[in-house]
Amino acid sequence: MCPVSDRFALKTTLAGVQATLLGVLFVTFFESVFPLPLVGFVLGIFGTGLFVLGIRAG
């Protein structure tokens, strides 16, 4: 594989993990503040999509 696509796969996978963990943090610790759990769910879905994209690209 090309090193550029390997670098893209690694960065995308790591960004997906970070977004998913940030979403879990929002849902867990800010559950009493209204919009933040919703933002957490959206970040979790987006992060999971990025993670899968990075795994498939690599």
Domain ranges of the chain: 3-57
Structure confidence by residue, pLDDT tens digits, 2-56? 566 788 888 888 889 999 988 888 888 887 777 878 888 988 899 898 888 888 8
CA distances from 51 to 6, 28, 31, 41, 45 (A): 14, 21, 24, 15, 10
Token pair for 44: 């979790």
Looking at per-residue pLDDT, the higher value among 1 and 25 belongs to 25
pLDDT of residue 9: 84
| pTM, two decimal places | 0.75
CA distances from 27 to 5, 36, 55 (A): 33, 7, 25
